Structure 1
Amino acid sequence: MLIGTHVSQAGGLDKAIGRGVERGCESIQIFNQSPRMWRPTRYGPDDFAAFRAAMADSPIRAVLIHAVYLINCASEDPEIRSKSLASLKQSLHVGDGIGADVVLHPGSALRGHVGEAIRRAGAVFREALAESERSMLLLEDTAGAGGTLGRSFEELQALLEAAGGGDRLGVCLDSCHLLASGYDVRTAAGLTETLDCFDEIVGLDRLGAVHLNDSQTPLGSNRDRHANLGEGELGEEGCVAFLSEPRFEQMAVVLETPGPDKRGTTAEEIAYAKRLRSRGLKARA
């Protein structure tokens, strides 16, 4: 299991590696541009080479790029879909350059039929993948009200099918989002049952990464509010379950917690996650 967190790429892509190392990470997640702006950061071959060189000399073994929050590939507005496509293509381009997979919130259907929104999103995913080479596109399960897409395994599977079902399509599961969407993952038994359900509907071969976050809000709240590990509705038991789950063993498990000062996950929380993992592995032995 490659435990890590989201880190800043400010000052250059390669700077993210050092920030991950400082926190004791084996995996990192970055934005490839400002997460709340359409304007892309233009990276070139030299940036990619510097990143790869820094990573080769580090303990970091997996990298995720989180696509920007503005993207809504399911939008009814052609301009928003066009901007979303351009931004997603840029994320995949950077992913190709540095050997990273791209995590994306699938989008939302603000009006109209959900099935039509899924078809619109799928068409954008297909086009973006066709214009990139290697990076996986990992659709993240979501939590939210209204027409938010990806709140159930059935919707995730429908999105994958709408995108063509190719082998560069996968899923990133988020522990906070699962709980808020009604999947009871607060115990090892509950997580096992949930993953069995995921395997039946989507397939564990599609699972590419995990986001580990505790939840400020309770089971089925449909509210996406991350909490520090052990300080929310998952509690230590739920976090231990994720950190010792055998089916996550070879994956990047990335924390996106607020941190004690609301400035993100600290080295201390990464160390805490590793202690919880050791506790869970001992209990399973």
Structure 2
Amino acid sequence: MSQFARCTTSKYKFGAHISTAGGISNSVTNAFNIGCNAFAMFLKSPRRWISPDYSPEEIEKFKKNCQELGYNPLVDILPHGQYFINLANPELEKAEKSYESFLDDLQRCEQLGIGLYNFHPGSSLKADHEKQLHQLAGYINKAHKATSFVKVVLENMAGTGSLVGSDLGDLRKVIDLVDDKSRIGVCVDTCHTFAAGYDISTESAFDAFWADFDKTVGFKYLSAIHLNDSKAPLAANRDLHEKLGEGFLGLTVFKLVAKAEFLQGIPVVLETPQPTNEGYGEEIKLLEWLENYDSTKDKQEFDEKTESLQTTGAKSRTEQLAKFDKKTAKQTATKTPKKTTKKVTKTTTAKRTRKADNTDVKTETKRPKQEEDHSQDTDDQ
């Protein structure tokens, strides 16, 4: 029996991004063995455009595992698209290649009976941003017509400039352009949110962000959460995931997540850089403990956990802060001097704190290192 028994009393669907090594059906048992109430996985290799089709036997085994282990694939499973898909690419040939892989993913979801599909919305590169948002939405509309029921879930992003979704307004614009509103949603990644300049590290900042999200996007489109701490500081525009409590976000925000009633019933999926599945099991149990946190009796233990986790991540935070400060100083030095210096302050909804240069675009469109850890066993797909 697994040391991480699945919690049947939690009101939240806490889970993690799971390996599919040996076959897509193995993701279900892997998720169950670490106590997931929801989970994510790649539908095929994230390193190749084309992967073999599922066999009828593998599809049936996946569905059987879901039924026997108590997962509803329509609402409990959140597959992640390949990182190199870019439906906003202004180069038509590349956009079409992305669309083929995107549509293949949606069709795989429907073969497995999965109702949600999450992906990075891409980048407009050096083209007109608004025009490429229309192109992105057009491909989603086209894919909806070619499929039956799977919901496309846009993820918010960590960068600025040409990346779609760093600003919540991008997500709303795409939603407005999608014809079937019942089949479009949003996944909020806590690391991406913080890196993009939206401070969620305190209770007041957390509340302000969600008020902004509801006003800009709308809670009815919130379909999932990716739960990660951030190795990089606020507004660093770096997609660097960290284990819960060890990064610049700290443990408080995850306690707030575990107490937020509006997050009940949707997948809340860990993507932290864990070397083993057991690490995810430990974090799921931490989240379940935070769900039941009682300030009258648990405050000392919470403070001790916070201090321990922050101590563990201190070296990494120091290194990343030094890199951030160096980059900021370099950017400041290359700008034309002005009569007055405008100081950027931390706000709860700091948006697009700087324009992305070509280096930023190249960096943000690459697959992040911590996300490579998720895919290390998926080439067998």
TM-score under structure 1 length normalisation = 0.93
Q: Which residue of 2 aligns with 1:33?
A: 44
Q: Which residue of 2 aligns with 1:77?
A: 91
The answer on whether the counterparts of 2:270 and 2:280 sit within 8 Å (CA) in structure 1 is no
Q: Which residue of 2 aligns with 1:224?
A: 239
1:239 and 2:254 matched = yes
Q: Secondary structure at the match of 2:77?
A: strand
Q: Which residue of 2 aligns with 1:90?
A: 104
The answer on whether the counterparts of 1:74 and 1:81 sit within 8 Å (CA) in structure 2 is yes
Q: CA deviation at 1:263?
A: 7.5
Q: Which residue of 1 aligns with 2:268?
A: 253
The answer on whether the counterparts of 1:21 and 1:60 sit within 8 Å (CA) in structure 2 is no
Q: 1 or 2 for the larger relative contact order (CA 8 Å, sep ≥6)? A: 2
Q: Secondary structure at the match of 1:65?
A: coil
Q: Which residue of 1 aligns with 2:153?
A: 138
Q: Which residue of 2 aligns with 1:160?
A: 175
Q: Aligned partners of 2:295 and 2:93: how far apart in 1?
A: 49
Q: Aligned partners of 1:181 and 1:269: how far apart in 2?
A: 24
The CA deviation string for residues 130-186 of structure 1, in whole angstroms up to 9 with x for no partner, is: 111111100000012441110111111011123335210010010111111111111
The answer on whether the counterparts of 1:241 and 1:280 sit within 8 Å (CA) in structure 2 is no
Q: Secondary structure at the match of 1:178?
A: helix
Q: Alignment RMSD, CA only?
A: 1.9
Q: CA deviation at 1:266?
A: 2.7
The CA deviation string for residues 23-71 of structure 1, in whole angstroms up to 9 with x for no partner, is: 1111110101111210133124433221111011114440011010110
Q: Which residue of 2 aligns with 1:17?
A: 28
Q: Secondary structure at the match of 1:167?
A: helix
The CA deviation string for residues 93-150 of structure 1, in whole angstroms up to 9 with x for no partner, is: 1211223210010110111211011111111111112111111100000012441110
1:215 and 2:226 matched = no
Q: Secondary structure at the match of 1:279?
A: coil
Q: Aligned partners of 2:44 and 2:163: how far apart in 1?
A: 23
Identity %: 30
The CA deviation string for residues 177-216 of structure 1, in whole angstroms up to 9 with x for no partner, is: 1111111111233222211111111111101110010001
**Change in CA separation of 1:48 and 1:143 when aligned onto 2, cut-off 3 Å:** same
Which of residues 134, 140, 147 in structure 2 aligns to 1:125?
A: 140
Which of residues 8, 11, 14 in structure 2 aligns to 1:3?
A: 14
TM-score under structure 2 length normalisation = 0.70
Q: Aligned partners of 2:61 and 2:46: how far apart in 1?
A: 22
**Change in CA separation of 1:162 and 1:70 when aligned onto 2, cut-off 3 Å:** same
The answer on whether the counterparts of 2:165 and 2:171 sit within 8 Å (CA) in structure 1 is yes
User: After the TM superposition, which segments of 4 or more aligned residues of structure 1 sit over 6 Å from their partners?
Assistant: 280-283
Which of these two proteins has the greater Rg computed from alpha carbons?
2
Q: CA deviation at 1:282?
A: 8.3
Matched residue type, 1:199: D
**Change in CA separation of 1:84 and 1:50 when aligned onto 2, cut-off 3 Å:** same
More helix by share: 2
Comparing 47-56 with 208-217, greater Cα deviation is found at 47-56
Q: Number of aligned pairs?
A: 282
Q: Aligned partners of 1:5 and 1:90: how far apart in 2?
A: 23
Q: Secondary structure at the match of 1:205?
A: helix
The answer on whether the counterparts of 2:87 and 2:99 sit within 8 Å (CA) in structure 1 is yes
Unmatched 5+ stretches in structure 1: none
More strand by share: 1
Q: CA deviation at 1:18?
A: 0.8
**Change in CA separation of 1:188 and 1:44 when aligned onto 2, cut-off 3 Å:** farther
